[in-house]
């Protein structure tokens, strides 16, 4: 907040009214568009979730929690939750720890910084659908380079995307590949924010080995960054859609159904809008809980740096 | 410790590890480009040679340009991204200014709505928007692709944070000169907003150029299809198992943004991470 003493020209009371009018006028386009495109549709989605609304149906009935009851009895949806959880549980730690390690390696020297940063960041700006088709080729069981390489060392590679045992692992690898560079950049920012004097002071205090230096200085000071990366990676992984839509369409036999893809097929292929809205609501609640947990932890902890 | 004076030899292990992981990161691009230059029979032999024995690039790329409206897709991508960005900036800059610098009742409520809006992923309003757009008959138009994103609460939030650092005296001086609030926004505040606007622009364009979810819902057919959809169409309708041509299509659609990134790396990385909150 600006202190009143700083404003040389306090607006006269008569001007305050016009200031309010100007403020509303300036915000009006954003407010109207937000109401029409975000707020009302979001509320409508919540209402949909408690109805049996299907596209084209004449009568819409409120059916209470019936959609949610059906969801948790629906084997497809349960598989979808399980697969999404698997994806989040693999991609989050691997891309977080990997991003941190790469950031520390880049930060440890001066050579090749910009170059490596660009290399690792490239997937963030790449059209994911296109890159997914590149992975489709790489993963191809007979002509793909991954299995060709494995054959060279005498290993028969699996059908990466065609086998229900492997498909979520294969998709998770793509997920890590997609997110690691973003996490690396966030950690790089966190690392450069640590003052060098602290390392110098720690060295005076006898913290000499790189291992001790990491656990006693770097890791605690990176706390807020790590928490942020953790939340954002979980939410991004939870939203996995493009690679599933491009590579597997939820198959084989629902082995790669994920939350948003199930929501998409129920809503826009089968037009069961009420049911699909219920999935959307489950998705929204998970996102909100993750964000709430993050702010809770942030509030409780000491802020470093 | 940060190795300013470290010799190249001592730096080798670090560079080797980074290079090796980097190679893995780049391998999809390398194989994509390599496959896009090979004839089909060579692909089916599944050799690990990156360089094609018979150069077939002109055929593969030729097929893509001949069979799908590539230029159309890229043009659609540009139209959609530019449309979204123009509205987002035009709506968010004045609103961000009002919340940051003007005193009025309801300001805190308005800001609370912004914070609330930040929590809602774009997938949540998708179903009702689809129904509404179907009702008014604008599915499969640019309007349907642009409209849901015109009001970015994230942009409002970002500009509000940014404008708070503009000195009040600058704005008050403009008021004394008789400028209206609207002209203050465009003539005083906007010229100071370029760093934030650039960062947001990069974030927005990357997000919407690469988006598949919403275009998949509202678009049907080639006329307004974006690059992401173009690849899916090409695969299902034309390429099938012709990986050479499919990889050529993937290279073509990935190139515009990757080229922009390579030209302005620092700005891209700053822009996307500065705005990274929204993921």
| Structure confidence by residue, pLDDT tens digits, A90-134 | 999 999 999 999 999 998 888 888 899 999 999 999 999 999 999
Of B15, B150, B232, the CB nearest to A37: B150
User: What is the pLDDT at residue A16?
Assistant: 56
Q: How many CB atoms lie within 10 A of CB A124?
A: 23
- Determine the residue among B128, B139, B179 to mutate to test chain A binding: the one whose Cβ has the most chain A Cβ atoms within 10 Å: B128
Residue A257 has a CB neighbour count (10 Å cut-off) of 24
Q: Which residues does chain B have within 8 Å of residue A31's beta carbon, measured at their own beta carbons?
A: 95, 110
Mean pLDDT by 10 residues, chain B (279 residues): 64 91 94 89 80 83 87 94 95 92 88 87 92 92 94 90 86 87 86 85 90 93 91 83 88 91 85 62
For residue B266, give how far its alpha carbon lies from the nearest alpha carbon of chain A (Å): 8
- Asked if residues A52 and A274 have their Cβ atoms less than 8 Å apart, the reply is yes
pLDDT at site A110: 83
Q: Which residues lie across from A62 on neighbouring strands?
A: A51
B91 within 8 A of B114, measured Cβ to Cβ:
no
Write down the mean pLDDT value for chain A: 87
**How far is A169 from A76, CA to CA, in rounded Å?**
19
CB proximity list for B110: less than 8 A, separation 6 or greater: A27, A31, B99
Q: Residue B16 has what pLDDT?
A: 92
In the prediction, which pLDDT does A159 show? 87
Axis crossing angle, helix A13-34 with helix B107-118, rounded to the nearest 10 = 20
The answer to whether B225 and A93 have CB atoms below 8 angstroms apart is no
Three-point CA angle B250, B255, B261, nearest 5°: 135
pLDDT at position B188, please? 87
B84 touches A2 (CB < 8 A): no
Q: What pLDDT is attached to residue B279?
A: 40
Q: Which pTM value belongs to this model?
A: 0.89
Q: Where are the alpha helices (DSSP H) in chain B?
A: 8-36, 40-44, 57-67, 70-101, 107-118, 126-135, 142-146, 153-163, 168-176, 181-184, 194-209, 213-218, 227-233, 243-263, 265-274
pLDDT at A7: 46
Give the pLDDT score at B194.
84
How many C-beta atoms lie closer than 10 Å to residue A304's C-beta?
12
How far, in Å, CA of A68 to CA of A282, rounded? 9
Nearest to A260 by CA among B130, B229, B122: B122
pLDDT score of B30: 94
Say if CB B213 and CB A264 are below 8 A apart.
yes
Instruction: Report residue A17's pLDDT band, with 50, 70 and 90 as the boundaries.
Output: low
**A chain contacts of residue B132, beta-carbon cutoff 8 Å:** 41
pLDDT at A301 (0 to 100) = 64
* 8 Å CB contact of A189 and B117: no
Q: Is B257's CB within 8 Å of A142's CB?
A: no
Question: Which is it for the CA torsion A66, A72, A77, A80, positive or negative?
Answer: positive
pLDDT number for residue B95? 93
Cβ atoms within 10 Å of A206's Cβ, excluding its own: 7
Q: A34: which chain B residues are within 8 Å (Cβ-Cβ)?
A: 113, 117, 151, 153
User: Is any Cβ of chain A less than 8 angstroms from the Cβ of B183?
Assistant: no
Cβ pair A19:B124 closer than 8 A = no
- Nearest residue in B to A187, CA atom: B273
For A109, how many CA atoms within 13 A lie in the half-sphere containing its CB? 21
pLDDT recorded at residue A152: 86
Q: Which residue has the tokens 């790089």?
A: A188
Tell me which residue in B28, B44, B167 faces A138 most closely, judged by beta carbons.
Answer: B28
Residue-wise pLDDT for A219-248, tens only, equals 888 888 898 899 889 999 999 999 999 999
Sequence-separated (6 or more) residues with CB below 8 Å from residue B117: A34, A38, A39, B153
Q: For residue A148, which residues of chain B lie inside 8 Å, CB to CB?
A: 46-48
Helix (H, G, I), strand (E, B) or coil at A51: strand
User: Cα separation of A155 and A102, whole Å?
Assistant: 29
A6–B128 C-beta distance less than 8 A: no
Look at A127 and B95 and tell me if their CB atoms are within 8 Å. no
A35-41: average pLDDT: 93
User: What pLDDT is stored for residue B42 in this prediction?
Assistant: 82
With contacts defined as CB-CB under 8 Å, which chain B residues touch A232? Answer: 276-277, 279
Minimal CA separation from A124 to chain B, in Å: 9
**Would you call A138 and B17 a contact, using CB atoms and an 8 Å cutoff?**
no
pLDDT score at A1: 38
Phi, psi for A51 (deg, rounded to 5): -125, 170
Chain A contacts in chain B segment 34-63 (CB below 8 A): 35, 43-44, 46-48
Least CB–CB distance from A30: residue in B91, B126, B229: B91
Cβ atoms of A154 and B245 closer than 8 Å? no
Q: What are the φ/ψ torsions at residue B39 (nearest 5 degrees)?
A: -75, 160
B120 reaches A (C-beta below 8 A): yes
Is A41's CB within 8 Å of B107's CB?
Answer: no
Residue A14 has pLDDT above 70, yes or no: no
Contacts of A131 in chain B (CB under 8 A): 28, 32, 250, 254
B244, closest residue in chain A (CA to CA): A137
Pair of tokens at residue A1: 């907040």
Q: Could A105 and B17 be called an inter-chain contact, meaning their C-beta atoms sit closer than 8 Å?
A: yes
What does the pLDDT read at residue B1? Answer: 45
Size of interface A-B (CB pairs under 8 A): 318
Based on the number of CB atoms within 10 Å of its own CB, is A162 exposed (0-12), middle (13-18) or buried (19 or more)?
middle
């Amino acid at each position: 907040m600006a202190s009143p003493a700083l404003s040389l020209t306090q607006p006269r009371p008569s001007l305050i009214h016009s200031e309010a009018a100007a403020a509303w006028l300036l915000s009006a386009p954003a407010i109207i568009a937000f109401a029409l495109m975000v707020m009302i549709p979001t509320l409508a989605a919540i209402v949909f979730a408690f109805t049996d609304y299907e596209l084209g149906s004449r009568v819409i009935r409120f059916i209470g929690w019936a959609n949610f009851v059906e969801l948790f009895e629906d084997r497809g949806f349960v598989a979808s939750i399980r697969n999404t959880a698997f994806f989040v549980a693999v991609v989050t730690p691997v891309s977080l720890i990997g991003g941190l390690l790469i950031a520390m390696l880049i930060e440890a020297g001066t050579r090749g910084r910009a170059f490596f940063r660009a290399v690792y960041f490239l997937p963030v700006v790449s059209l994911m659908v296109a890159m997914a088709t590149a992975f489709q080729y790489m993963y191809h069981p007979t002509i793909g380079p991954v299995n060709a390489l494995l054959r060279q060392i005498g290993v028969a590679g699996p059908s990466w995307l065609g086998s229900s045992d492997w498909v979520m692992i294969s998709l998770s690898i793509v997920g890590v590949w997609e997110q690691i560079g973003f996490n690396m950049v966030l950690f790089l920012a966190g690392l450069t924010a640590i003052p060098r004097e602290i390392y110098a002071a720690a060295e005076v205090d006898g913290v000499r080995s790189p291992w001790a230096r990491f656990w006693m200085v770097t890791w605690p000071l990176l706390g807020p960054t790590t928490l942020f990366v953790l939340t954002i990676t979980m939410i991004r992984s939870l939203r996995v859609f493009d690679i599933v839509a491009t590579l597997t369409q939820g198959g084989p036999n629902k082995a790669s159904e994920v939350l948003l893809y199930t929501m998409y097929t129920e809503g826009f292929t089968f037009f069961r809008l009420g049911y699909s809205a219920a999935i959307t609501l489950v998705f929204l609640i998970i996102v909100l809980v993750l964000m709430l947990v993050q702010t809770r932890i942030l509030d409780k902890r000491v802020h470093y740096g | 410790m940060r190795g300013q004076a470290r010799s190249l030899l001592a730096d080798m292990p670090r560079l080797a590890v980074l290079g090796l992981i980097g190679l893995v990161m780049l391998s999809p691009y390398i194989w994509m480009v390599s496959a896009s230059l090979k004839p089909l029979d060579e692909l089916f032999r599944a050799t690990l040679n990156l360089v094609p024995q018979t150069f077939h690039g002109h055929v593969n790329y030729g097929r893509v340009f001949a069979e799908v409206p590539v230029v159309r897709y890229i043009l659609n991508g540009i139209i959609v991204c530019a449309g979204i960005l123009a509205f987002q900036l035009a709506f968010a800059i004045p609103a961000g200014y009002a919340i940051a610098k003007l005193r009025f009742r309801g300001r805190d409520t308005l800001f609370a709505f912004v914070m609330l809006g930040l929590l809602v992923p774009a997938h949540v309003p998708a179903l009702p928007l689809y129904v509404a757009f179907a009702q008014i008959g604008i599915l499969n138009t640019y309007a349907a692709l642009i409209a849901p994103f015109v009001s970015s609460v994230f942009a409002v939030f970002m500009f509000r944070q940014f404008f708070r650092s503009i000195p009040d005296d600058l704005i008050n001086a403009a008021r004394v000169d008789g400028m209206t609030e609207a002209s203050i926004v465009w003539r005083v505040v906007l010229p100071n907003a370029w760093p934030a606007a650039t960062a947001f622009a990069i974030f927005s364009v990357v997000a919407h150029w690469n988006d598949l979810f919403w275009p998949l819902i509202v678009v049907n057919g080639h006329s307004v299809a974006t690059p992401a959809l173009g690849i899916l169409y090409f695969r299902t309708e034309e390429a099938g198992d012709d990986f050479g041509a499919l990889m050529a299509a993937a290279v073509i659609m990935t190139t515009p943004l990757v080229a922009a990134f390579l030209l302005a790396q620092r700005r891209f990385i700053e822009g996307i991470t500065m705005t990274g909150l929204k993921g």
